Structure 1
Amino acid sequence: MKTLLLFGAGKSATVLIDYLLQQAQSNDWKIIIADADKNQVLAKTNNSPLAEAVQIDITKGEQRAELIQKADIVISMMPPALHFLVAQDCVTYGKNLLTASYVDDQIRNLKSEIENRNILFLCEMGLDPGIDHMSAMKMINEIKAKGGTITSFKSHCGGLIAPASDNNPWHYKISWNPRNIILAGSAGAVYKENREIIEEEYQTVFENCELISFPGLGQLAWYPNRDSISYMPTYNLENAETFIRTTLRYPAFCRGWDYIVNLGLTDTEDHDNIMDCETYADWLERKLYLVEDSEMSLEEYVDLYVHEDFHQEILSQFNFLGLNSNNKLPKAAQCSADILQFVAESKLAMQPDDKDMIVMLHEIEYTIESSKLKVESWLRVEGTDSLRTAMAKTVGLPLGIAAKLILNGTITLTGLQIPTAKEIYDPVLKELELMDIKFTEKVI
């Protein structure tokens, strides 16, 4: 009997847990699920005898080590900052590790130790990053196999609200880590477009977002993801004239969020400036004052800074969040980002009957001999309900499938990897198709 250890039973782990329990029965696995809230684990496993629920403080080394030593493979669904604690123990005890998070510098610094231990650390094995890598590499390799030269690569992905549940002026509801949503774009962005390296500061990331047409949904807007350039060698596209990885939103969201950012409502270091604010109206008034160093109402700000076509839209968005209300600010808030996160988690929460939606679109332009061609490949997945969301499906299932393929010997790679190798992406994408996570491709 093989033992699979999962750290974390939060929002994105729900469908992963379902999958692991299904596989445990047919593959003779033992599943251990460790979380700070044992009752959450028991609820998500429905007290299944196939799973052992463990309450853990992930920062306690002895507790972690005891569990990791029992495992044949470890999946971490903890917040990215905590992966390193698990990773260090996996190196120490020679255990394979899977995560859905980006490879950070701490994990990267373990590369030689991972190789020396002859174990596999498979990171970026979720949705974005994850399914985006696998589907893109499949397309890239197929084009190259036909003798094509890729000139432009654009990859777009977004977690949105399904049309039937879209009932607020932001056209958005929270289906994953709310802090990441609040701080999205804060690192700025760098990408390549028409042979030119473009660097964007946080204040411009959401400004004048470009539009794409998505089948069945109409127009969506995209903003660039952090550092696209670093993935050019990963995809073997160093010579592409354009290389951009982006996040998709409905256009109204990007228009509204641009003003949220530029008013400083996502600031993380403004405690001293807002500490005497008591209500949301006080907070917004303080931020509006900083625009012109004079008192200004929200309506006056909109008249001055927002195109007249979108006056009502921006006012509706701000009023929907209650940013101009006399409600008391959350006592625990230490900065503007904390306040906005509290508001967003309340006002943009998924309701029990809501369904979220994942959309992904790859646009690749290439040449074969003298012919210029373009291929588009798109994916649309809707959630089952507010618990088994599209986000939980597309983040969790690739991890579960990869774990199975490692345990049964289909994936034999070792070292620090992301899912760009055919040995990984081929079988994982094939199983995802059986679960209706399937791309549609069109050559233009």
Structure 2
Amino acid sequence: MKNILLFGAGKSATCLIDYLLVNAPRQKWHVTVADHDLMLIKSKTGKSYYVTPAAINIQDEAARQQLIQETDLVISLLPPTLHIIVAKDCLKFGKNLLTASYIDPEIKALEKEIEDAGLLFMYEMGLDPGIDHMSAMKLIHSIEKKGGQISSFKSYCGGLISPESNDNPWQYKISWNARNVVMAGSSGAVYKEKGKVKETDYVHLFDQSKTIQIPTLGKLAWYPNRDSLAYMKAYKLDDIPTFMRATLRYPDFCEGWSTLVKLGLTDDSTKVQTDNLTYYQWASQHLKPVKDLSNEENIANFLGISAKSKIIRQLKFLGLLNGETIHQGELTNAGVLQHIVESKLAMEPTDKDMIVMIHEIEFERRGITTRLHSYMIVQGEDHLRTAMAKTVGLPLGIMAKMILQGKVTLTGLQIPVTPDIYNPVLKELEEYNIRFEESFE
């Protein structure tokens, strides 16, 4: 019997665990789920014969390495900064590794060692990154095979709240790691448009949000995502004039988040003591409040908006204008904000989320310019089996099955951009109603 070791039992792990356990009897594998929270693990695994819960501190080297030595395949859904310690252990003990996170400089530095060891470390095997790569490469290869010359590639993806559960002024609820939500966009963005490299810094990232029309949904806002240029080589589109990857949100979210950035509330560099600090004092730390004005008026004056505006309603919803004490010890501003959004923007048990992804590709074939639209909309079932958990977890589960069945010959540090990976994964995802619709202009 093969053994799979999963690190992390958080929000994105639910549907992956379901998939691994449903397939366990037929595939003859056993799953160990490791997390610091034993009750959380058991809530996801139930009483299956095919699973072993392992409550460990990931920093406990002896406990971590023992689990890795005893397994055949490792999947990591840990916070991104912790992947490297698991990766080094996998390299040490000769284990293949799957994760949904981005390739970062630390793992990139181990690329030759991974290749020399004949191991497969498949990164970016989730939703975005993951399904975006696979679906985009399938389109790109199809266009090129038919003689098309691509001139523009734009890809958009967002984890959103479903319209039926969209009931707060932020038009957003947390369906994945709240820390990642708070830090999203903090490194700014760079992309290429009409032959020119464009850079957007964090402070202006959300101000410049534009809109795109999504079939059946209407307009969504977008902002460029990280370093798009880094993927031009991977997609073999090095020389095209336009290349951009972007994040989708409802427009009100972008406007509100831009305000939090301007207020300095997403900063993760300096710690503040919150035990005697009110939410309003924290939110107004960069202001010079006027005593005769209300909290709303002071914030509004600083931002140059009306005290009755939608932005003020959003800040009120988060509780940032009241006199309650935060009382969370010493945290960075980003840490305080994470604490707030985890509470105020939490999904209720009956809430449903939604994933939207769309690719826009312009190409020329036989003198005719065509624009291809390929889009995917996935709905969640409830606050646990979310669209986010499905689209992050299922590609990892399918890839794990392919590896343990001996169907993958690829080695080295990889992302899923080759037909031997994306064709079978995308095909099986369709069985879970994760599929794309296409149209041409």
TM range (shorter): over 0.9
Deviations 1:78-105 (A, max 9, x none): 1111111111111111111100000111
SS in 1 for 2:62: helix
Matches of 1:301 and 1:430, distance apart in 2: 51
SS in 1 for 2:171: coil
Q: Which residue of 2 aligns with 1:344?
A: 341
Q: Which runs of 5+ in 1 are unaligned?
A: none
Q: Which residue of 1 aligns with 2:431?
A: 434
The TM-score with structure 2 as length reference comes to 0.96
Equivalent residue letter for 1:278: L
Alpha-carbon contact 1:280-1:325 (below 8 Å) kept: yes
**How far has the Cα of 1:365 moved from its partner?**
0.7
Matches of 2:225 and 2:294, distance apart in 1: 33
Aligned length: 440
Tell which deviates more after alignment, 260-269 or 240-249.
Answer: 260-269
Matches of 1:361 and 1:73, distance apart in 2: 32
2:304 corresponds to 1:330:
no
Tell which deviates more after alignment, 323-332 or 274-283.
Answer: 274-283
Alpha-carbon contact 2:274-2:329 (below 8 Å) kept: no
Q: Which residue of 1 aligns with 2:129?
A: 129
Alpha-carbon contact 1:289-1:296 (below 8 Å) kept: no
Tell which deviates more after alignment, 57-66 or 153-162.
Answer: 57-66
Equivalent residue letter for 1:356: D
**How far has the Cα of 1:305 moved from its partner?**
4.3
Change (3 A) 1:285 1:40: closer
Q: Which residue of 1 aligns with 2:388?
A: 391
Alpha-carbon contact 1:69-1:93 (below 8 Å) kept: yes
Alpha-carbon contact 1:101-1:126 (below 8 Å) kept: yes
Matches of 1:123 and 1:339, distance apart in 2: 30
RMSD after superposition: 1.9
Deviations 1:373-432 (A, max 9, x none): 100111111111101111100000000000001111222211111000111000000000
Matches of 2:308 and 2:123, distance apart in 1: 43
Deviations 1:161-212 (A, max 9, x none): 0011000000000011111111111101111011111111110100131100
2:170 corresponds to 1:170:
yes
Matches of 2:150 and 2:293, distance apart in 1: 53
- Identity of aligned pairs, percent? 52
Matches of 1:428 and 1:315, distance apart in 2: 45
Q: Which residue of 2 aligns with 1:75?
A: 75
SS in 2 for 1:287: coil
Q: Which runs of 5+ in 2 are unaligned?
A: none
SS in 2 for 1:170: coil
Change (3 A) 1:357 1:259: same
Matches of 2:281 and 2:109, distance apart in 1: 46
Q: Which residue of 2 aligns with 1:374?
A: 371
Alpha-carbon contact 1:288-1:296 (below 8 Å) kept: no
Matches of 2:143 and 2:305, distance apart in 1: 43
Equivalent residue letter for 1:155: S
**How far has the Cα of 1:23 moved from its partner?**
0.9
Matches of 1:14 and 1:101, distance apart in 2: 17
Q: Which residue of 2 aligns with 1:302?
A: 300
**How far has the Cα of 1:132 moved from its partner?**
0.4
Matches of 1:334 and 1:412, distance apart in 2: 46
Tell which deviates more after alignment, 128-137 or 262-271.
Answer: 262-271
Give the alignment of 1:88-99 within 5 angstroms.
Answer: 88-99=88-99
Change (3 A) 1:275 1:326: closer
Change (3 A) 1:38 1:171: same
The TM-score with structure 1 as length reference comes to 0.95
Alpha-carbon contact 1:128-1:157 (below 8 Å) kept: yes
Matches of 2:130 and 2:48, distance apart in 1: 29
**How far has the Cα of 1:332 moved from its partner?**
2.2
Matches of 1:422 and 1:328, distance apart in 2: 55
Q: Which residue of 2 aligns with 1:280?
A: 279
Matches of 1:187 and 1:354, distance apart in 2: 31
Q: Which residue of 1 aligns with 2:37?
A: 37
**How far has the Cα of 1:236 moved from its partner?**
0.6
Give the alignment of 1:122-271 within 5 angstroms.
Answer: 122-271=122-271
Deviations 1:284-303 (A, max 9, x none): 3323339x9x9895435536
Change (3 A) 1:286 1:58: closer
